[in-house]
């Protein structure tokens, strides 16, 4: 319920998409983890645990992760895609993209929920092994896997190596031959469907580092065609199928469907040319989540149904059997499970000349920043924030939440309306920080990385402890 006129509070400095909230205390359930609420006293709580208790126990900043949310999203993808694809190909394999966020505990949840795990480095392979995940449940990605990583993956009995180039195909073949085994591989193809946030465009797809091009140049077979011929003729390679990953933070199923169509057409062409049926098709990850009120992600069921529809009809039209389908969601499972809890420090209002007028912007400094969430700096990512330690009826003020680092680009939330009475010591929560935040974090300015706290059924526990000063300096040999 609003006690103020929102139109009068609109700032000329606000981006067009940002609305003045009717009630700044409101929590949009698509943006916040399941089980987030405000207590009667007005404090933000997750699974009944108040943020002030969490801050007292674990300090700030801290990543607060809902284990229940993570698990239910993992199940939602598994169940929705299984239901949609079971009649076509007996089911799907869902690989959680470990690069989005991973620690031993999370790898265990992945396993317990019946998902597999995608890795893209020796470190992630080591972590998977430590979490007790069988090699056969793992995929290995990367455009520049080292010999040691390929070797390690094969030693672990990896389920699939997703081969990214002709050069790598030779190397995987050579290493497998030396080890006297057959390496199970998928070929990563670039179907020319390049996703760009809310939309996708079918251009300029060749000019990036990933995958094997499907395009012929000067009448020569495409790199993808060449890779199939090499893989099928190689005694140490077992070609399971093909893979594509068209991008990230994609909302419409159209891009995935178009990519599926292109790869199925490729599979039909392989059958015609070589008499071989490729049995697996991986359609990658990239399903979008809501970072602000503006984003409207599709439910897994809707995505799965749309994709199964296209896969089914395309296979029928091409006269091929439906390959076993796999997908690789990361962000869509972990992204919205987490919010970052910060304490408010310095407040500063600056004045900007706007035509003949002077407009105001309030800078709200928090005790973290680009070291715990570099996404705004890296890709101009948009976030929102809420006053978490209490409810406020004060009018909203256009604010910019910034970190404590020595960079003017150190922005956490570029534009948000936050209550006028925000004060030093208040807790601020930023949702949507589960994916690509902790994993991309740094120690910039010798800042220790914050802890990750898992909350489930009213209980909180550390799954990654925060760094100490000792952690920071232990590699400095002259310390």
Ligand X SMILES: *Cc1c(COP(=O)(O)O)cnc(C)c1O
Catalytic residue among 120, 244, 406, 437: 406
Question: Quick check: helix, strand or coil at residue 350?
Answer: strand
The residue among 141 and 160 lying less far from ligand X, judged by its C-beta, is 141
**H helices of 29-142, where?**
51-58, 67-89, 104-112, 122-130
Which residues are registered as beta bridge partners of 387? 428
The residue among 249 and 447 lying less far from ligand X, judged by its C-beta, is 249
β-strand 324-327 against 92-97: which pairing, if any?
A: parallel
Residue 70: Cβ within 10 Å count: 27
Cβ 74 vs Cβ 356: under 8 Å:
no
| Cα 162 to Cα 153: distance, rounded to the nearest angstrom | 11
Footprint of ligand X on this chain (CB under 6 A)?
97, 99-100, 141, 245, 248, 284-287, 328-332, 435
Question: Quick check: helix, strand or coil at residue 314?
Answer: helix
Q: How far is the CB of 98 from ligand X (least distance, A)?
A: 9
| Cα 437 to Cα 29: distance, rounded to the nearest angstrom | 21
Q: How far is the CB of 181 from ligand X (least distance, A)?
A: 24
DSSP state at residue 42: S
Cβ 449 vs Cβ 372: under 8 Å:
yes
β-strand 452-456 against 62-66: which pairing, if any?
A: parallel
- 192: region left, alpha or beta (phi > 0 left; psi from -120 to 50 alpha): left
Query: Residue 452: which H helix or E strand, with range?
Result: strand 452-456
Q: How far is the CB of 188 from ligand X (least distance, A)?
A: 7
Q: How far is the CB of 219 from ligand X (least distance, A)?
A: 30
The residue among 191 and 285 lying less far from ligand X, judged by its C-beta, is 285
Mutual angle of helices 147-155 and 166-178, in 10-degree steps: 50
The residue among 21 and 335 lying less far from ligand X, judged by its C-beta, is 335
The residue among 300 and 330 lying less far from ligand X, judged by its C-beta, is 330
Verify cis geometry, omega within 30 degrees of 0, for the bond prior to 61.
yes
| Cα 299 to Cα 281: distance, rounded to the nearest angstrom | 22
Q: How far is the CB of 455 from ligand X (least distance, A)?
A: 22
The residue among 119 and 314 lying less far from ligand X, judged by its C-beta, is 119
Q: How far is the CB of 286 from ligand X (least distance, A)?
A: 4
**H helices of 179-289, where?**
223-233, 254-274
Six-digit token string for 266: 């490729």
Largest pairwise CA distance in the chain? 77
The residue among 332 and 344 lying less far from ligand X, judged by its C-beta, is 332
**H helices of 32-66, where?**
51-58
Answer yes or no: 89 catalytic.
no
Verify cis geometry, omega within 30 degrees of 0, for the bond prior to 112.
no
The residue among 285 and 396 lying less far from ligand X, judged by its C-beta, is 285
| Cα 72 to Cα 75: distance, rounded to the nearest angstrom | 5
The residue among 247 and 395 lying less far from ligand X, judged by its C-beta, is 247
Residue 463: Cβ within 10 Å count: 17
Q: How far is the CB of 291 from ligand X (least distance, A)?
A: 13
Q: If we measure between CA atoms, which residue out of 430, 195, 433, 253 comes closest to residue 334? A: 433
Q: If we measure between CA atoms, which residue out of 247, 255, 243 comes closest to residue 307? A: 255
Active site positions, annotated: 406
């Amino acid at each position: 319920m609003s006690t103020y006129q929102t139109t009068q509070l609109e700032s000329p400095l606000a981006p067009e998409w940002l609305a003045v909230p009717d009630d700044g205390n409101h929590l949009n359930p698509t943006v916040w983890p399941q089980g987030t609420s405000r207590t009667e006293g007005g404090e933000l709580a997750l699974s009944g645990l108040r943020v002030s208790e969490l801050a007292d126990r674990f300090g700030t900043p801290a990543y607060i992760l809902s284990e229940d949310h993570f698990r239910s999203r993992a199940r939602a993808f598994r169940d929705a895609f299984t239901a949609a694809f079971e009649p076509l190909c007996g089911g799907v394999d869902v690989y959680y993209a470990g690069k989005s966020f991973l620690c031993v505990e999370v790898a265990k949840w992945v396993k317990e929920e019946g998902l597999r795990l995608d890795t893209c480095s020796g470190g992630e392979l080591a972590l998977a092994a430590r979490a007790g995940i069988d090699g056969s449940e793992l995929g290995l990605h990367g455009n520049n896997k080292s010999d040691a990583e390929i070797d390690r993956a094969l030693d672990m009995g990896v389920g699939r190596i997703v081969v990214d180039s002709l050069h790598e195909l030779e190397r995987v073949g050579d290493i497998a031959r030396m080890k006297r085994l057959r390496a199970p591989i998928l070929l990563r193809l670039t179907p020319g469907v390049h996703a760009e946030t809310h939309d996708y465009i079918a251009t300029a797809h060749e000019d990036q580092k990933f995958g094997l091009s499907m395009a012929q140049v000067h009448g020569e077979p495409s790199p993808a065609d060449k890779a199939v011929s090499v893989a099928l003729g190689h005694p140490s390679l077992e070609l399971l199928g093909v893979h594509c990953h068209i991008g990230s933070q994609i909302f419409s199923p159209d891009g995935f469907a178009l990519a599926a169509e292109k790869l199925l057409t490729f599979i039909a062409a392989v059958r015609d040319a070589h008499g071989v049926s490729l049995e697996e098709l991986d359609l990658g990850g990239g399903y979008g989540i809501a970072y602000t009120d503006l984003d409207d992600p599709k439910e897994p069921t809707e995505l799965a149904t749309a994709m199964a529809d296209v896969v089914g009809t395309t296979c029928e039209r091409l006269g091929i059997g439906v390959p076993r389908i796999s997908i690789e969601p990361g962000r869509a499972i972990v992204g919205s499970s987490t919010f970052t809890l910060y304490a408010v420090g310095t407040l500063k209002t600056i004045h900007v000349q706007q035509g003949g007028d002077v407009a105001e912007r309030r800078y709200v400094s928090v005790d973290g920043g680009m070291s715990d969430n570099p996404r705004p700096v890296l890709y101009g990512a948009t976030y929102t924030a809420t006053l978490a330690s209490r409810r406020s009826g004060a009018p909203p003020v256009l604010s910019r939440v910034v970190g404590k680092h020595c960079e003017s680009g150190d922005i956490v939330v570029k534009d948000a309306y936050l209550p006028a009475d925000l004060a030093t010591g208040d807790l601020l929560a930023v949702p949507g920080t589960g994916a690509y935040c902790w994993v991309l974090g740094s120690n910039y300015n010798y800042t220790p990385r914050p802890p990750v706290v898992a909350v489930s059924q009213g209980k909180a526990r550390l799954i990654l402890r925060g760094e100490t000063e000792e952690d920071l300096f232990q590699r400095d040999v002259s310390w």
